[in-house]
Structure 1
């Protein structure tokens, strides 16, 4: 089974979880299988980390202080429509289902789950909604989407014109 997960080795994962103990457990589960793991304690920090790094997939709790996972995901969608998002939630409520299903290219994984379930969900999410755009961090809050040919300052699109 581990051969299947070798495809994950190149992935940069953003892990957003306010429970530091669970965040540590999840990071420990993912570390042998993925490339880089970026960690954030809440949606606000997650959005900042997403803006500064080349993220291939986001794994986020839904209910967090400062900014929820769904609010963060909506703001991420303003920057990148294709990056897969996996929501993790302790309670599979109608509201959680509704909010997560309304965000393009996202999935919901109910806690508790095991390592294999998480890895399979990541594999499926990255295969189904593979991110084709590549955002390059240009420094000083600027990034460039090479696929869409768009320049961003933080989350704001800057329109480029030909001269």
Structure 2
């Protein structure tokens, strides 16, 4: 059975090119030309992956992404953007986006990104991880503490924390993290990574035995005092 991709793009020529390319590669494609219709398509038909332009009429891609995350926390979401500002890229990741591609781009790169996102979204049999007093439920993207309750995580936050937990006591290189999560190592991804590390420190603040250490110029290490 083919994976279904929802393509939300207001440029009709680009939408047609992407749609035909994806269909030739074996995907089923649903299309919409604005965020409102994209949201309706997803609510009606679902999708295995969503590609969304950021700048669109009636509802932009970021707002559509926020609303889709209220319906489904796990469907991979890839943003297409002509913007290159760090704040815009970070905003896309923080609302639950999984990847972004700056226009103009090559169709081969888009296909590679799509296949990587679909592989990473395959269900992991072991989705619960413990660190200090916290439990991470990767499938539900939730971090729970016995006294402080539950915090909902973005997909990027959950995957980053999982990588640090399984390597507790060891430094995970920044380049390794970025290749794992974003399949690239560039200044935009590095700035995004710093922001996500800061948020994880905030989430883990209720257990003083846990430290998330910045190994300057190398990477990050999660430690737990016994």
Would the aligned equivalents of 2:7 and 2:30 in 1 still touch at CA under 8 Å?
yes
Match of residue 11, structure 1, among 3, 11, 17: 3
CA deviation vs aligned residue, 1:118-162 (integer Å, no higher than 9, x gap): 011001111112379xxxxxxxxxxxxxx99xxxxxxxxxxxxxx
Structure-2 separation of matches of 1:60 and 1:130: 21
Match of residue 52, structure 2, among 43, 47, 60: 60
Please, which runs of 5 or more residues in structure 2 have no aligned partner? 125-138, 141-226
Aligned twin of 2:122: 130
Which one has more relative contact order, counting CA pairs under 8 Å at least 6 apart? 1
Q: How does 1:1-163 map to 2 (within 5 A)?
A: 10-130=2-122
Tell me, what secondary structure is at the counterpart of 2:116?
helix
Structure-2 separation of matches of 1:90 and 1:66: 18
**Based on CA coordinates, which of the two structures has the bigger radius of gyration?**
2
CA deviation vs aligned residue, 1:87-145 (integer Å, no higher than 9, x gap): 0011222232022110335111111111210011001111112379xxxxxxxxxxxxx
Tell me, what secondary structure is at the counterpart of 1:10?
coil
Structure-1 separation of matches of 2:30 and 2:113: 18
Would the aligned equivalents of 2:66 and 2:96 in 1 still touch at CA under 8 Å?
no
Moved over 3 A (4+): none
Structure-2 separation of matches of 1:131 and 1:92: 32
Structure-1 separation of matches of 2:83 and 2:122: 28
Would the aligned equivalents of 2:79 and 2:97 in 1 still touch at CA under 8 Å?
no
- Cα RMSD for the two superposed structures: 2.0
TM-score, normalised with respect to structure 1: 0.71
Would the aligned equivalents of 2:6 and 2:50 in 1 still touch at CA under 8 Å?
yes
Aligned residues: 126
More helix by share: 2
